[in-house]
Amino acid sequence: MNRQQGLRAEIRSRQHGAVAIIVAISLVVLIGMLGLVLDLGHLYVTKTELQNSADAAALSGAKELNGGLTGINNAINRAIETAGRNKYNLHSRTLVITSANIRVGSCPSTGCMVPITTITTNALAADKTFLEVNTGSQGIGKWFAQVLSSVASNLATSAVAVAGKYAVDITPIAICQLPNPGTTHELGYERGLSYKVSQANPIGPGTLYWIDPESATPGNCPVTNTNAGRPYVCAGKIGFTPIVGSTVNTNSGNSLGPFFEALDSRFDIYPSAAQCDPVAAPPDSNIKEYVYTQSNPGSPSRWMNTDPGQQSITFVDSATNGTCKPNAPCKPQPFGLRTIGDYGVLWSAHRPTGATVAQWSALYSGNTATSYPETSPYAQTSGDFFTAPSVAHQPGRPGRRVLNMVIVNCSTAGGNCRPATVLGVGKFFMQRKASEPNSDKDLYVEFGGLLPTPLPNSEIKLYR
C-alpha cells in the first residue's frame, strides 16, 4: 500500500514538472507574439507618420512648380523644409530628406518621373507639374520581438507621395493664333483690342473651339457632351495643365447656347440650363457690361471720343482683305488698312504695355479718349463704370471675367476630339454677356497679354 502511494506521488511530481515546462515554453511564445504585435503596431504608426510627412512635403513642393528652373529650385527647398517640420517613430525623430529623395514629372505615374536634380534648364522644367517625395527606408529597431530569431533585427518602413496640379485656371475654350497684324502683338493679338472669338478660326466665321477639359491625350476625349462640359465652363477650370508645345483636344461640335449661358455666370446670371453653382462659380465683383450700342453712363461711348460702331476689331478675309466669307479663314484688319470704324471697344480692362490715354490718336487712327477712368473702367470699384453683383452673391470674385484661354495652332483643329498644338495661354476679358437677349450670342473678349509664366494658377492635390 505504501509502495503504491509513493508511486502515485512520484507520478504527480513528474506531471508538475511537465506542466511547468509547458507553461514556460508557452510564456516564451506568448511574450514573443505580444512583442511582435507591439512592434508591428509601432511599425504601422511609423508608416503613417512617414506617409503624412511625405504627403505634406509633396504638396508644398508641388505648389512651387511654375514651368521654370526657379520653380524647380523652390520646390526642392520647400519640400525639404516641410519634411523637416515633421517627425516619425512615435514623434521622436525628425524626417530628413535631400534632393535625392525628390523626383518630378509631366504626369503622376512612376514612368513620367525623373530625378529633380536632372532638371537644369527652363526648357526641361516647362512640363514638370508633378512632384514625388520618397522618404527612403527608415529603421525603427525592435522592442519585444527580439526573442523571435525569424524576425529581422531591425524593422524599417518608408513612404512615397505624389502631388500635382489639377483644376487649372484655364477656361476650356481654344482660340487660334492670328497672323501678324503689322503692329506690336502676341501670337497675333494686340493688347487693349476686342476680338469676336468665333471669327478667329481657319474654318470660317461662326465656329468656336472648345477643348476637352479632362484629357490632353490625343484621341481621348472623356468630356465631349454639353452636360459634362458645362461645370468646367462655369468654373473656368480644366483638369490638366496645357504646356506650350503639347496638344489639347479641340471640339467644334458642342451646342453653343448652354456653354454661353455657363460663361455668363461671371455676370451673376444663373439660368437652370447652365447648371452653374454660385458657390463654385461666383460672379465677378464688377459685372458692368461695356457694350458699344449703349449710351448710358459708364458705357464705351462715354470714354471713346469717336463712338464705337462695333464691339470688336474688324475681321477680313485672310487672303483678300475683303469681307469674311463662309468656310474661309478670317483675320483682323491689318494695322495699315484700319480706319476709326475698324476698331471696336478699346481699353475696357487692358491697354498696351506702358500706353497712356494721350497716345490714342497715334495708336488708333485719330481716335481720342475722354473721361477715361484710371486705371481702367473694369478696375473701378464704384461709380458709373461699376456694378456690383446681387446682394445674395456679393462681394463676388475679382478677375472672374478674365478668361485664361489656350492659344493654339488651328491648322489641324476643328471637328471632334482633334488635337491642336498649344502656343501660349492668353488673358482675355469678357466685355459683355455671351447669351443676353440682345446679344448675337458670341464671345467678345479684350486681349490682356500672354501669361507671364508657362503654368497658370491651379489647385494642388495628392495623386498617390
d(CA 404, CA 421): 16
Say if residue 158 is in the same domain as residue 179: no
- Of 165, 189, 210, which marks where a domain is finished? 165
Q: Are residues 96 and 216 in the same domain?
A: no
The C-alpha atoms of residue 327 and residue 330 are separated, in whole angstroms, by: 9
Threshold 0.85, pTM exceeds = no
353 and 243 co-located in one domain: yes
Q: Please check whether residues 213 and 243 belong to one and the same domain.
A: yes
Please give the residue that has the higher pLDDT: either 7 or 97. 97
State how many domains the chain has: 2
For residues 50 and 146, membership in a common domain is answered with: yes
The boundaries of the domain holding residue 449 are: 173-458
Residues 145 and 237 reside in one and the same domain: no
Q: Higher confidence at residue 368 or residue 132?
A: 132
Highest mean pLDDT among 18-32, 151-165, 247-261: 151-165
Do residues 194 and 307 share a domain?
A: yes
Q: Among residues 220, 218, 221, 217, which one has the least CA distance to residue 229?
A: 221
Give yes or no for residue 282 having a pLDDT over 80: yes
Can you read off the three cell numbers belonging to residue 103? 523626383
Per the CB < 8 A criterion, the answer to whether 176 and 329 are in contact is: no
- Is the domain of 101 the same as that of 194? no
Say if residue 330 is in the same domain as residue 411.
Answer: yes
Q: What is the pLDDT of residues 192-235, one digit of tens each?
A: 999 999 888 766 556 788 899 988 888 888 886 667 888 899 99
Q: How many percent of the chain have pLDDT more than 70? A: 84
* In a domain? residue 89: yes
3-state secondary structure of 20: helix
pLDDT tens for 409-423 read 988 766 788 899 999
- Between the CA of residue 307 and those of 277, 291, 310, 351, 388, what are the distances in Å? 37, 11, 9, 18, 25
pLDDT (tens digit per residue) in 350-394? 999 999 999 999 999 888 898 999 889 999 999 999 999 999 999
Residues 151 and 187 both lie in one domain:
no
Is 463 contained in some domain? no
Query: Do 295 and 148 share a structural domain?
Result: no
- Taking CA atoms, 19 is separated from 7, 14, 24, 208, in Å, by 19, 9, 8, 88
pLDDT confidence band for 298 (50 / 70 / 90): very high
Q: Answer whether residue 276 is part of any domain.
A: yes
Task: Evaluate whether residue 464 is within a structural domain.
Answer: no
Looking at the fold, whether 150 and 181 belong to one and the same domain comes out as no
C-alpha cell at 268: 451673376
